[in-house]
């Protein structure tokens, strides 16, 4: 395009008439609220259309250079504004929402009107507004920084020729109007579908529109369909790309002969894998023996060498990081790594040679960790045992003792070491919970046939102790060399959580000593003292709720629950990405220390360039912490659906239960027979008007003075089950 000299001079003239960037920034700093272009024009006496155009260009350039932010309403604001926050939108089924930030202690309130400008899961920039009502701070949506682009799962309906989907997740409190396509003409009303939103809406009057991309199933819900919904609702990656399949095809099933020359050969030692009956992958094996020349024990924990097969920066590696961890559902597993690796090449199957990373530990007769070393090895497992089998052998089961007669000596070695570790906990001051898991027995359709409580036996606790010891030794090893890794941090509880927990205990006539912030051993001693109480499990759950979640981070903050100054995950590289990272770093250190290996593997993963880890380690930690929570939430969705499906057949039945939680709208009762929670709504109690004591967590009858508090035993009737919302409602039997 040819521009004449006159036009160039005119543009330059009007550009010179507008304020500089510094002047605009100074003006915006004087205002707490956002300012539109007209107000800027008024301030600087800009009237000519060409000057306004030049100003608009300057503002866009300032936005591009991240000096200012342009909001959805085309207002401008500077990032230095103290009332600006960045956070994640948490939707609520009633239409309003909250903004969760990393900087503020409490979530900000998002009104129904503000929630029309964003959706659950969006990362937004917001303006904090102090409200006179209830002293609650409000958030005003300014800009969507990162839209929630996940596919939304819901039911498909047609009403007055209008096609729409109602999301399954009630935090998306809106209808999605469907754009017509060939696919929509074939979908039955009430089908479960996944929808891709057409675009992010930034106008309160806009209808939310989307396109159906997949039909998951019909009206009838089954366990597999509930699982498919959870996978998509929580955005869990589940498809292997062509590039990954190509990389898998290139991996040799046979171990390279060079590995036998540079690894320590432990094929003569009887390692065992000990797992649950339904375990899918076997990535750890143990062996121990009594020291001959001195007192104490040798304990070897062998972990599958996943890093040998999954190289840094490959498609396999990138997908493993994206997934973060394996996700276990009642009817299937979404693995972090493809089955060729997780179930075949890296699974420590009996009588098959496998590459491992060993943590060898020397323990005292009291089970204390004296010294340790890590090295690469080849092992050949001599047996795959379940926890129950080992426990029965330890307790003299004749049939199993005869069956495993040749291995009996080594199994009894494990028993001897177990007694020592049981008597002298690895972390004597740590908090040890008596975990009683609720287990389902599923039928051929993956629906619950029966429910029972699975109590962890001494074999469970022994393997757990072995893994914790290996994690402790690995943390000590890695701290010597200052390489970037992800520590497993568990911070001490917040003061408010401790205060609230103590209020609950006071109602139960109990006391947690230890001052404002009790150390771990106070919790540990407290649990030992109440072990024989009938409400022990309920109190343990309340204690767990008062704790913070453990997270992955490059900075070491220690592990409060285990009362350890440092802790790291070493033992599950098949199903956790932080463990895989740690293995690579340990091998890098071993390679650096052992110069003889260099002539064998000059161009291998031993010469791992750690720059990509160093530069991204914090982001990786945040991501892996998120994927862990994501897996828990997805699994909970499916198990809650299974429980509701099971209880659907129990409507009208009467059960005995214990109040397990209390909220302002009612209390939850855990049924003793099935260990399932249902809600008794407070409005269903018609014998009196009950008011909620939020401090004492109880309901008190105004006239009768009847009290409903945590731990109370009640008789209740199942009155309704909502499968879509995963809710069971109960009524009190008086």
Q: Which residues pair with 290 in a beta bridge?
A: 297
Contact 723, 645 (CB under 8 A): yes
Three-class SS of residue 251?
coil
Predicted confidence at residue 8, as pLDDT, reads 45
* DSSP per-residue codes, 355-373: EEEEEEEEE-TT--EEEEE
- Phi, psi dihedral angles at 191 (to 5 degrees): -65, 150
Report yes or no on 300 lying in a domain: yes
Report yes or no on 576 lying in a domain: no
Contact 236, 220 (CB under 8 A): no
Do residues 168 and 24 share a domain? no
Q: What's 184's domain CATH number?
A: 2.40.50.700
Q: Three-state SS across 453-467?
A: EEECCHHHHHHHHHH
Do residues 141 and 159 share a domain? no
Do residues 291 and 350 share a domain? yes
Do residues 31 and 165 share a domain? no
Do residues 449 and 380 share a domain? yes
d(CA 75, CA 35): 5
| 95, 121, 146 - which closes a domain | 146
Residues whose CB is less than 8 angstroms from the CB of residue 668 and which lie 6 or more positions away in sequence, other chains included: 659, 660, 661, 662, 677, 678, 679, 680
Predicted confidence at residue 106, as pLDDT, reads 82
Do residues 162 and 25 share a domain? no
d(CA 312, CA 306): 11
Do residues 274 and 184 share a domain? no
Which of 688, 709, 630, 502 shows the shortest CA–CA distance to 237? Answer: 630
Do residues 476 and 533 share a domain? no
Contact 287, 348 (CB under 8 A): no
Exposed, middle or buried, 407 (CB in 10 Å: 0-12/13-18/19+)? middle
Domain span at residue 19 reads 5-77
- Phi, psi dihedral angles at 352 (to 5 degrees): -125, 130
Predicted confidence at residue 58, as pLDDT, reads 86
Torsion sign, CA atoms 651, 654, 655, 660: positive
Walking along the chain (734 residues) 10 residues at a time, the average pLDDT comes out as 43 63 78 74 81 84 77 72 81 90 84 89 85 71 84 90 89 87 79 84 67 86 90 93 95 87 94 88 92 87 96 94 95 94 94 96 92 96 94 94 93 93 77 75 86 86 94 94 91 91 88 90 90 84 90 95 94 96 92 62 51 82 96 94 93 94 92 93 91 87 90 93 91 87
| 58, 77, 96 - which closes a domain | 77
Three-class SS of residue 504?
helix
Contact 99, 87 (CB under 8 A): yes
Do residues 214 and 160 share a domain? yes
Three-class SS of residue 489?
strand
Report yes or no on 487 lying in a domain: no
Do residues 119 and 183 share a domain? no
Tell me the HSE value of 644 on the side-chain side, using a 13 A CA sphere.
Answer: 21
Do residues 169 and 27 share a domain? no
Report yes or no on 264 lying in a domain: yes
Q: What's 38's domain CATH number?
A: 1.10.10
Report yes or no on 600 lying in a domain: no
Contact 138, 111 (CB under 8 A): yes
Report yes or no on 679 lying in a domain: yes
Do residues 342 and 436 share a domain? yes
d(CA 225, CA 321): 26
Q: What's 728's domain CATH number?
A: 2.40.50.140
Report yes or no on 447 lying in a domain: yes
Please report, in angstroms and rounded to a whole number, the separation of the first and last CA atoms in the chain.
87
Predicted confidence at residue 632, as pLDDT, reads 95
- The beta-carbon contacts of 683-690 under 8 Å, at least 24 apart in sequence, are 684/731, 684/732, 685/732, 687/734
d(CA 284, CA 583): 13
Predicted confidence at residue 3, as pLDDT, reads 43
Q: Does an H or E element contain 710, and which?
A: none
| 123, 146, 169 - which closes a domain | 146
Which of 573, 330, 332, 611 shows the shortest CA–CA distance to 474? Answer: 573
d(CA 330, CA 223): 9
Report yes or no on 90 lying in a domain: yes
Three-class SS of residue 511?
coil
- The beta-carbon contacts of 157-164 under 8 Å, at least 24 apart in sequence, are 157/189, 157/190, 158/189
Take residue 210 and report the two structure tokens written for it: 């989307």
Domain count, the chain: 6
């Amino acid at each position: 395009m040819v521009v004449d000299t006159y036009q160039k001079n005119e543009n330059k003239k009007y550009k010179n008439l507008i304020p500089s960037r510094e002047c605009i920034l100074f003006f915006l700093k004087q205002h707490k609220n956002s300012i539109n272009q007209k107000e800027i024009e008024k301030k600087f006496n800009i009237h000519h259309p060409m000057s306004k155009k030049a100003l608009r260009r300057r503002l866009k350039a300032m936005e591009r250079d991240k000096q200012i932010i342009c909001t959805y309403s085309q207002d401008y604001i500077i990032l230095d504004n103290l009332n600006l926050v960045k956070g994640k939108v948490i939707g609520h089924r009633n239409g309003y929402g909250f903004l969760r930030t990393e900087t503020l202690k409490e979530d900000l309130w998002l009104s129904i009107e503000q929630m029309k400008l964003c959706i659950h899961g969006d990362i937004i920039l917001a303006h904090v507004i102090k409200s006179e009502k209830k002293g609650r701070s409000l958030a005003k949506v300014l800009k969507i920084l990162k839209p929630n682009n996940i596919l939304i799962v819901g039911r498909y309906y047609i009403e007055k020729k209008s096609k729409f989907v109602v999301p399954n997740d009630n935090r998306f409190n809106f209808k999605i109007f469907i754009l017509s396509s060939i696919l929509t003409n074939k979908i039955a009303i009430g089908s479960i579908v996944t929808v891709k939103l057409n675009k992010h809406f930034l106008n309160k009057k806009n209808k939310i529109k989307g396109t159906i991309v997949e039909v998951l199933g019909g009206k009838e819900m089954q366990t597999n369909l509930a699982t498919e919904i959870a996978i998509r609702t929580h955005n869990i990656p589940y498809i292997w790309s062509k590039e990954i399949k190509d990389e898998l095809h290139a991996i040799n099933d046979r171990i390279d002969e060079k590995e036998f020359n540079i690894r320590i050969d432990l094929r003569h030692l009887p390692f065992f894998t000990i797992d649950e009956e339904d375990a899918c992958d076997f990535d750890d094996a143990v062996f121990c023996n009594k020291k001959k020349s001195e007192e104490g024990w040798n304990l070897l924990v062998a972990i599958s060498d996943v890093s040998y097969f999954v190289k840094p920066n490959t498609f396999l590696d990138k997908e493993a990081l994206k997934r973060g961890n394996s996700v276990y559902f009642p009817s299937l597993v979404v693995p972090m790594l493809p089955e060729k690796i997780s179930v075949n090449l890296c699974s420590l199957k009996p009588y098959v040679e496998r590459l491992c990373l060993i943590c060898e530990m020397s323990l005292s007769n009291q089970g204390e960790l004296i010294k340790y070393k890590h090295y690469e090895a080849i092992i050949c497992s001599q047996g795959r045992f379940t926890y129950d089998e080992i426990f029965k052998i330890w307790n003299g089961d004749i049939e199993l003792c005869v069956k495993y007669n040749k291995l009996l000596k080594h199994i009894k070695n494990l028993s001897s070491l177990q007694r020592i570790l049981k008597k002298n906990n690895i972390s004597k001051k740590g908090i040890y919970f008596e975990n009683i898991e609720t287990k389902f027995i599923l039928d051929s359709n993956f629906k619950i046939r029966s429910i029972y409580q699975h109590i962890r036996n001494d074999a469970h606790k022994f393997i757990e102790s072995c893994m914790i010891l290996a994690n402790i030794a690995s943390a000590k090893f890695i701290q010597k060399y200052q390489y970037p890794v992800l520590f497993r941090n568990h911070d001490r509880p917040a003061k408010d959580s401790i205060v609230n927990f103590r209020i609950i205990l006071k109602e139960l006539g109990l006391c947690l000593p230890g001052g404002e912030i009790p150390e771990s051993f106070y919790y540990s001693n407290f649990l030992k003292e109440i072990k024989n109480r009938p409400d022990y499990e309920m109190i343990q759950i309340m204690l767990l709720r008062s704790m913070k979640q453990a997270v992955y981070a490059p900075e070491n903050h220690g592990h409060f629950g285990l009362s350890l100054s440092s802790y790291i995950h070493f033992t599950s590289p098949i199903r956790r990405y932080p463990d895989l990272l740690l293995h690579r770093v340990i091998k890098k250190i071993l390679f650096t220390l052992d110069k003889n290996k260099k002539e064998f593997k000059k161009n291998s993963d031993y010469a791992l360039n750690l720059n990509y880890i160093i530069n991204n380690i914090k982001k990786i930690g945040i991501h892996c912490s998120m994927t862990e929570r994501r897996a828990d939430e997805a699994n909970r969705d499916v198990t809650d659906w299974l429980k509701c499906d099971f209880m659907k057949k129990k409507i009208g039945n009467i059960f005995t239960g214990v109040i397990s939680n209390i909220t302002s709208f009612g209390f939850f009762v855990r049924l003793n027979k099935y260990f399932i929670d249902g809600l008794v709504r407070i409005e269903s109690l018609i014998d009196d008007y009950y008011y909620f004591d939020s401090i004492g967590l109880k309901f008190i009858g105004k006239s009768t003075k009847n009290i409903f508090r945590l731990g109370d035993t009640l008789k209740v009737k199942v009155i309704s089950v909502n499968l879509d919302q995963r809710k069971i409602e109960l009524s009190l039997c008086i």
